[in-house]
Chain A
Amino acid sequence: MEPPAKYLYYPGCSLKATGVAYEESLLTTLRLLEIPVEELSDWNCCGATAYMSVSEASATLLALRNLALAHQAGTKDVLAPCSACYLTLRKSHELATHYPEAAKDVERFLEQAGLPRPDSVRVRHPLEVLYTDVGIQRLRELTVRRLQGVRMASYYGCQAVRPYGEVDDPHEPVRMDEVLRAVGVETVDYPLKTKCCGGSLTGTIHEVGLRLNYILLKEAQRKGAQAIVTICPLCQFNLDAYQREIRKQTGEPIDMPVLYLTQVIGWALGGGFRELGLHRAISGRKLIEQWFTVKKEAETYV
């Protein structure tokens, strides 16, 4: 399959706020890969898990408006970096195109809003773009810097791989590990790589959310990882922002960088510290500075 000529980027709420480093590093990485990308004009909220909990029909139409706007803009590939956005858009596309029960609502809404049917639009995730569209071979060729001796745990989380399994295998995903290894990063075996971080539970039932993230961090540490790599803004936020509290509660010295895949790849392709949003980490800041600050001799060495 030919890689698309252009992607339409759907940020969602997180990539404009808590996950702004994901936006920065994604756009930098795509620029370094010379892949044209443009933000979807006037996008609206995907609805996440909350809207689906209140109304299925409304949640489907809400997400579908974004796909219709993409179709109108003439681009087939919508790039949704947040796992919740990815799943919600992907699911609304399926409900709208494959469920006859939804067909009437969909037709009426699109007609009233003056929007086209988005049947041919595809919802894509950055991991898919790196692994399938760019490819391991090309990433290897384009690598200009290598992180020496740093071991990382790839954490896939839930909704990017489940239930659809198009981004990667829902039971045993490996693509993030392969992408990381292509740019010279060592990855550890991480059995909890698809275990849920709890999503918004850290904000609602705090103790439960905290505990889930403690388990994820602790296991990464036990497997010898010095950092966790994520592909979702909510995973990154949960694992990064609550380490102080987890330290206080458990008394365990956890201070681990939690990075976006696009930060690590972007850096290997030659991206700068700030343009990859590496200065926005809350935990493991010392290690991040140590690893990603480019020293003169390191540049000449590569």
Chain B
Amino acid sequence: MERQIRYQREANLEWARQFTKQPGGERLLSCIQCGTCSGACPLSIYMDLTPRQVIALVREGFREDALRSKTIWLCASCYACAVECPQKISITDIMYRLKREAIRSNLYPKRFPIPVLAREFCEMVRRRGRNSEFWVVFRMALRSNPFVLFSMARTGWDLWRTGRLSLRKERIRRINDLQFIPAASKEVD
């Protein structure tokens, strides 16, 4: 049976210290574990860890538990937790930071469609300056679960017949401007 508790020696306290030193992170230390974030979150019932648990794990230095969780990816960035938190912790931004670190350290759940979508999206935007809804969803499906395309066909048809499905690959003129943006891919790989 899988062990559910952690030993103190498994914690990475240095990581926790670094994490809480970054801007916004210091507020983590004032978390009172009230669970308002989990209550406000429309997705907490689908999460493997609740937002409150993620905060607790981060603060105590259980890095991998936090980074491997599906919770950080299910967060839709609706900011409900952030505006309700009595300690004014910007939980949404903490989730973002965990997502970035999970991608950077290659700890995100592979073939889980949400990080796949994020990466495909960024790649398209870097190349063309714009995202084309159809193509980014198409590429995400190919790389996570191609069979899902069948179930999307009906919605695609509805969009097509109402003139809402664009197959155009959008592009900006001054694409060179974007080369001055530090490559996100460097942080990824």
Contact = CB atoms under 8 A, between A and B. Distances in A.
Given A62-B181, A101-B23, A244-B154, 17 more contacts: A13-B170, A42-B172, A42-B174, A45-B125, A49-B76, A49-B118, A51-B122, A54-B99, A55-B182, A62-B125, A109-B181, A113-B180, A158-B77, A163-B83, A170-B83, A204-B114, A241-B159
A195 B162 contact: no
Given A20-B163, A163-B90, A171 B42 contact: no
A201 interface: yes
Contacts of A57: 182
B187 A204 contact: no
B119 interface: yes
B90 to A, nearest CB: 7
Given A44-B129, A51-B125, A201-B76, A162 B83 contact: yes
Contacts of B132: 13, 17
Interface stretch (B2-10, B30-38, B54-62, B133-141): B133-141
A243 B46 CA distance: 21
B142 interface: no
Contacts of B129: 44-45
A262 to B, nearest CB: 16
A199 interface: yes
A204 B117 contact: yes
Interface string B63-87: 0000000000010111110110000
A158 B131 CA distance: 22
Given A45-B129, A163-B79, A17 B181 contact: no
Contact of A58 (B155, B172, B182): B182
A165 B170 CA distance: 32
Contacts of B29: none
Interface string B30-52: 00000000000011001000000
A163 to B, nearest CB: 4
Given A54-B188, A205-B74, A18 B79 contact: no
20 contacts: A13-B133, A13-B170, A17-B133, A18-B165, A44-B177, A44-B178, A49-B118, A50-B118, A55-B187, A61-B182, A62-B178, A101-B23, A112-B180, A158-B77, A159-B77, A162-B78, A163-B82, A196-B43, A204-B114, A208-B43
Interface residues of B, number: 61
A30 interface: no
A170 B81 CA distance: 11
Contacts of A170: 79, 83
Closest 4 A/B residue pairs (Cβ): A196-B78, A158-B78, A162-B79, A50-B121
Contacts of B90: 163
B130 interface: yes
A246 to B, nearest CB: 12
A163 B92 contact: yes
Interface string B86-105: 00001010001101100100
Nearest to B173: A42
A73 to B, nearest CB: 14
A115 B125 CA distance: 19
A257 interface: no
Contact of A53 (B103, B130, B178): B103
Contacts of A65: 177-178
Nearest to B83: A170
A281 B162 contact: yes
Contacts of A101: 23
B78 A99 contact: no
